A and B are shown apart, each in its own frame.
Chain A
Amino acid sequence: MTAFADYFVDFQNVWLAYNDELLTQNHFAVEDINLQVKQGEFIAIVGPSGCGKSTFMKLTTGLKKPSRGEIFVDGQPVNGPLKISGMAFQSSSLLPWRTTLDNVLLPLEIVEPYRSNFKAKKAEYEARALKLLQSVGLSGYERKFPWELSGGMQQRASICRALIHEPKMLLLDEPFGALDAFTREELWCTLRDLHAEQKFNVILVTHDLRESVFLADTVYVMSKSPGRFVVKRDIDLPRPRDLEVTYTPEFTNIVHELRGHIGAMRKEGTHLGQ
């Protein structure tokens, strides 16, 4: 097992069927996933909708157990919810009766070891949350309610909530999908800076190819039914990356190349369908 400890996330021939019936029919949501992610690596997973990206997230966080194969995270086999991970989704799902600050603090009321001393150390945790909110440009909005914030601000708060317990791994499921193009690019930069500063692992699920190339160290392309990883593409654009990089030929070429893979898959899909 020590051999795999070099990798932070390690999937070994992972298959998942949603229930026993589907398993006996050999009908899998994701098939034969092999994935090795280094410490601090930022990976993005792209693919058509319904290809099992979200299933992959549930496997990584231990919310679902694989039908076959094994998953290791941080050198340990995954068998149960993985508290070292933080999650954020397309909908910010902030609680409307809590202020932004209290929403960000919510995980600390639940996860150990913070939970036991939450009341005693509340001031310290609040200071931490305020600092985090400040780092994503939300100072001045701590005492506002989520419904008083714009969509982009809600998403920033949602990412803060995912990071407040200092997870080693951040999982994002199309977090910027519902935002307008300008806000989205702003949040790319916010995420880039948070990652550069705190060095956690990121798994970003998206169907925005530019987003994946701009942010990730490695992009994986997933195929639809069966959900498989079909392409692995290292993004060797130098860091720190500026938004300007998205207008360079190197960048565009990579996006084009990935687009080609997805286009080919979609064509295949229609042939199979006929």
Chain B
Amino acid sequence: MNQKQLETWAPWGLLVATLVIWQTACSLFHVSEFVFPSPLRIWEQMVEYRDVIAGHAWRTFWVTMVGFGIAIVVGVLLGFVIGSSRLAYAAVYPLMTGFNALPKAAFVPILVVWFGIGVGPAILTAFLISFFPIMVNIATGLATLEPELEDVLRVLGAKRWDVLIKVGLPRSMPYFYGSLKVAITLAFVGTTVSEMTAANEGIGYLLISAGSAMQMGLAFAGLVVVGAMAMVMYELFSLVEKHTTGWAHRGSQNH
């Protein structure tokens, strides 16, 4: 097995090893399933409650995707504005940084007042938590332009818009796809956190209700599902990234 195959299989190996150690420890020390359930117990619960979990997971998934969709639209638009104008950058950036520093979970009670319990707060929390990296990356891609290239184009009579469309936007695409990977995982965090206090459906709600019923196996099963969904989406976007902006990853093709 060569180095490359080894790298491909390494995460799976680590996962299996972790499960084995976890299971062994739980069986060996007779850890109560109300304290820390073993992987087998979690699996049992997952199979037993598969319909319930699937229902909640679907809810969390589409709510996250809606929030993420809004985040892409808003993030790209804001990023485009602040990346293409120095004045807008100076005006918006400090405020946005301040906003980003706020814990998004703190918005949930406010959103409940405005929109009530349900999808509203969850979608908006997912959006609030995930648009920032998208905006910053688009802005960065647009703002970095070699002065020589700008001269070459300006002397031809290129307008600011031409330079943005022909050079700035394509250049920011790798940054954009890179940010989507980060943003989608954040969006899942936002949805789950919001559902824990402000919904009657979704994985977040499942976690809270299973916890309060001391069904630790079910609670852990919920965590596994939300983690798996985030990972699948992450991999999906890194695939998209590789296939659309291969020119930005040329270094890796040489090795």
Contact = CB atoms under 8 A, between A and B. Distances in A.
B95 interface: no
A93 interface: yes
A61 B170 contact: no
Interface residues on A, range: 20 to 34
A106 B173 CA distance: 19
Contact of B157 (A81, A91, A145): A81
A89 B152 CA distance: 9
A147 B156 contact: no
SS of A interface (majority): loop
Interface in A78-100: 81-83, 85-91, 93, 95-97
Interface string B135-179: 000000000001011011111111000100011001101000000
Contact of A110 (B151, B153, B245): B153
Given A96-B247, A97-B245, A110-B162, A83 B148 contact: no
Contact of B152 (A62, A109, A162): A162
A93 B155 contact: no
Contacts of A196: none
Contacts of A145: 247, 250
A165 interface: yes
A87 B155 contact: yes
Interface string B223-255: 000000000000000000000010110100000
Contacts of A97: 170-171, 173, 245, 247-248
A111 B148 contact: no
Contacts of B148: 87, 89-91, 93, 173
Contact of B155 (A61, A106, A112): A61
Contacts of B153: 106-107, 110
Most chain A CB within a 10 A radius of its CB, from B148, B162, B171: B148
B247 A91 contact: no
Contacts of A86: 155
A58 B147 CA distance: 12
A110 B157 contact: yes
A63 interface: yes
Nearest to A165: B156
Contacts of A83: 155-157
A96 B245 CA distance: 10
Contacts of B149: 93
Contacts of B171: 95, 97
A193 B223 CA distance: 70
A87 B152 contact: yes
Best-buried of B152, B155, B158, B247 by chain A (most CB within 10 Å): B155
A63 B151 CA distance: 8
Given A89-B148, A96-B247, A81 B155 contact: yes
Contacts of B158: 110
B146 A81 contact: no
Given A87-B151, A110-B157, A110-B166, A93 B146 contact: yes
Nearest to A171: B155
A95 B162 CA distance: 14
Contacts of A61: 151, 155
A96 B167 CA distance: 10
B247 A106 contact: no
A28 B157 CA distance: 27
A111 B157 contact: yes
A93 B152 contact: yes
21 contacts: A62-B155, A63-B155, A81-B155, A83-B155, A85-B155, A87-B155, A89-B152, A90-B148, A93-B149, A95-B167, A96-B247, A97-B170, A97-B171, A97-B173, A97-B247, A97-B248, A106-B166, A110-B158, A145-B247, A147-B250, A165-B156
Interface of A: 58, 61-63, 81-83, 85-91, 93, 95-97, 106-107, 109-112, 145, 147, 161-162, 165, 173
In order of increasing CB-CB distance, the 4 nearest A-B pairs are: A89-B148, A111-B156, A93-B149, A96-B247
